[in-house]
Amino acid sequence: WKDRGAAVSIRKEVDANGKTVMRPVKKGVRDFSFGRVLGEGSYSTVYFATDRQTLKEYAIKVLEKKHIIKERKIKYVNIEKDTLNRLTEHPGIVRLYYTFQDENSLYYVLDLCNGGELLGVLKKTGTFDVECTRFFGAQILDAIEYMHSRGVIHRDLKPENVLLDDQLHVKITDFGTARLLSDPRAPQAPPRIEDMGTSSRNKDQDDDSRAASFVGTAEYVSPELLTNKNACKASDLWAFGCIIYQLLAGRPPFKAGSEYLTFQKIVNLDYEFPVGFPPAARDLVERCLVLDPARRLTIEHIKNHEFFEGQQFGKILWKTKAPRLR
Give the separation between CA 209 and CA 227, rounded to whole angstroms: 16
Backbone torsions φ then ψ of 108, nearest 5 degrees: -110, 125
Q: Please answer whether residues 260 and 321 qualify as being in contact, where contact means their C-beta atoms are separated by less than 8 angstroms.
A: no
Distances (CA, A) of 301 to 158, 164, 274, 281, 296: 21, 26, 25, 14, 9
Query: Which of 156, 174, 204, 236 is an active site residue?
Result: 156
Site for ligand CKG in 65-104 (CB under 6 A): 94
Number of amino acids touching ligand CKG (CB under 6 A):
18
- Runs of H (alpha helix) within the chain: 65-70, 74-86, 118-125, 130-149, 209-213, 223-227, 233-249, 259-267, 279-288, 299-303
Instruction: Return the number of the residue (150 or 158) whose C-beta is nearest ligand CKG.
Output: 158
CB of 276 to ligand CKG, least distance (A): 30
Interaction between residue 285 and ligand CKG (CB under 6 A): no
Interaction between residue 5 and ligand CKG (CB under 6 A): no
Give the separation between CA 31 and CA 102, rounded to whole angstroms: 13
Taking CB under 6 A as the binding criterion, the range among 13-21, 39-47, 208-216, 315-323 that sits at the site for ligand CKG is: 39-47
**Catalytic residue at 82?**
no
Instruction: Return the number of the residue (59 or 181) whose C-beta is nearest ligand CKG.
Output: 59
Interaction between residue 110 and ligand CKG (CB under 6 A): yes
Q: What string marks each residue from 150 to 189 as x (binds ligand CKG by CB under 6 A) or -?
A: ----------xx-x---------xx---------------
Instruction: Return the number of the residue (28 or 116) whose C-beta is nearest ligand CKG.
Output: 116
| Largest separation between any pair of C-alpha atoms in the chain | 80
Interaction between residue 59 and ligand CKG (CB under 6 A): yes
Q: Which residues bind ligand CKG (CB under 6 A)?
A: 38-39, 41, 46, 59, 61, 94, 110-113, 116-117, 160-161, 163, 173-174
Kindly list the catalytic residues. 156
